[in-house]
Structure 1
């Protein structure tokens, strides 16, 4: 459940805050009165240890008072600023690998409440080339991460593994943009990526102001028959509706994306991926230090060279 942790964190924070508030308003005055009465009787000012012994605070209230500020800060940061996200698959190779941990900038595409995801403040919209995390339109309980390829009003064609884009015509413009080929250039491969045993071809591509790399599997035929069919367009053509976006994985032949299930509504957007803060590998080669009997989720190493900004 994609929103499970947000819901749990919010509820736990609220409960801890209410317990602390109840103790401060209802219980603390009685404790202070007891301490004041004893100090008056003994004509002596009690230190903190003696006060705690004479009128102790309940353990639950003490715990709530301790953890509430921490939980509140985490909730605010996670809900409105940055949220960690783990890359679960190879669909965004070579930009992101399975085992990468990224920070998602939550306020890039609007500020939303953590429970119902109602937009509280509009702060921006995705641009072509952004790597966005969003609620999977088919199953909003699942988070997806893909690259925004087309924005509202754009016409897009993906034919013979070539991407064509006709940007939306801006109101009152003298001339509308024409359909253009998104050129891709062969990229020198200092590292080879595979799909099972097949080496993937590596290209550089530019969407808007973002230059990035993509992978193509030469052994996979176009899957046009499985594409999402939009009324009034060809089988491999789409026109992005208002308030929606078209997203694709950088690993083009190994990505379940908008080509197969359609468009991403604006309200499904979670944020923009900005930084890889950790990258773990799970390969169990013959030279691995990890014993074979350990579970598969135990990492075999850290890919330090991958830490940094993402494009």
Structure 2
């Protein structure tokens, strides 16, 4: 298992939690007993209360720095673990594979509740909430290297037969509608970069295509995908980037198993270079 951030977060939550529990349930009682035994008989209740308070302050200041630090950090680390694991997790977009929907440098939030509640690190699903549908933008662990996170759009779900012919997706033999918006640029090789609006099961979004760009030689199962199509097996999904000719996706390495899904991307919360993107929803 890779030593990624969730693993580190769980480790420190466990460590600080154990120290906090031992201190609260055992050491605190021992300190209080010692403080009470140190008060001479016959003192007034008020003096006793003042003495107890001073003793607690002195004892707190004299605690081992490690215990003191763990007591302070545990609530914060625990809250971060709960939020990241079960509610929302931040991610940074590292490439242009999802342009124009997401650009390199976008900081996004991913809904961890959309596809079920999973235990951190091990990924075991404990509550089944829902499943991805066509058009969802999902974050998942890269099947070939699960310590790396990818983000793509779901284009086919279990049971679908998907084909990719002349840069058009066909689901169960029916082409997905693409409406040309116009040319947005040109590659160094002279090929036109065109923008299309794609309607994927009612989810309308923009995609980029490079006209004349040949199919790469390392496409996954090219003879099937570019012909009669491949059937998405149960518990798996076929995903693609919106920047169709600049994306490593299911066309190259196959299906995404359901257990590798991390959540649904839904919000752009920051971008250093393009502040106008802040606050945008992800469609």
The answer to whether TM tops 0.5 is: yes
Q: Which residue of 1 aligns with 2:270?
A: 278
Q: Classify 1:242/1:51 alpha carbon distance in 2 versus 1 (closer, same or farther; 3 Å).
A: closer
Q: Classify 1:238/1:114 alpha carbon distance in 2 versus 1 (closer, same or farther; 3 Å).
A: same
2:244 corresponds to 1:308 = no
Q: Alpha-carbon deviations, 1:133-162, whole Å to 9, x = none?
A: 011111111111000000001011111111
Structure 2: segments with no counterpart, 5+ residues: none
Q: Classify 1:306/1:111 alpha carbon distance in 2 versus 1 (closer, same or farther; 3 Å).
A: same
Residue 116 of structure 1 is aligned with which of 116, 119, 122?
A: 122
Decide whether the 8 Å contact of 1:279 with 1:307 is kept in 2. no
Distance 1:137 1:110 in 2: 19
Bigger Cα displacement from structure 2, 63-72 vs 81-90: 63-72
Q: Classify 1:180/1:270 alpha carbon distance in 2 versus 1 (closer, same or farther; 3 Å).
A: same
Q: Which residue of 1 aligns with 2:178?
A: 184
Q: Classify 1:180/1:65 alpha carbon distance in 2 versus 1 (closer, same or farther; 3 Å).
A: same
Q: Alpha-carbon deviations, 1:69-102, whole Å to 9, x = none?
A: 1111110110111100110000000000000011
Distance 1:255 1:304 in 2: 25
Instruction: Supply the RMSD in Å over aligned alpha carbons.
Output: 2.3
SS at match of 1:85: strand
Structure 1: segments with no counterpart, 5+ residues: 167-178, 282-301
Decide whether the 8 Å contact of 1:79 with 1:113 is kept in 2. yes
Distance 2:108 2:160 in 1: 28
Q: Classify 1:195/1:264 alpha carbon distance in 2 versus 1 (closer, same or farther; 3 Å).
A: farther
SS at match of 2:214: coil
Q: Which residue of 1 aligns with 2:16?
A: 16
TM-score (norm 1): 0.81
1:306 positional shift: 4.4
The 5-angstrom pairing of residues 108-257 of structure 1 reads: 108-166=114-172, 179-187=173-181, 192=184, 200-223=193-216, 225-229=217-221, 233=224, 235-236=226-227, 237-257=229-249
TM-score (norm 2): 0.89
SS at match of 1:18: helix
1:58 positional shift: 2.8
SS at match of 1:123: coil
2:55 corresponds to 1:53 = no
Residue 261 of structure 1 is aligned with which of 253, 266, 276?
A: 253
Distance 1:165 1:40 in 2: 85
* Count of aligned pairs between the two proteins: 275
Q: Classify 1:148/1:268 alpha carbon distance in 2 versus 1 (closer, same or farther; 3 Å).
A: same
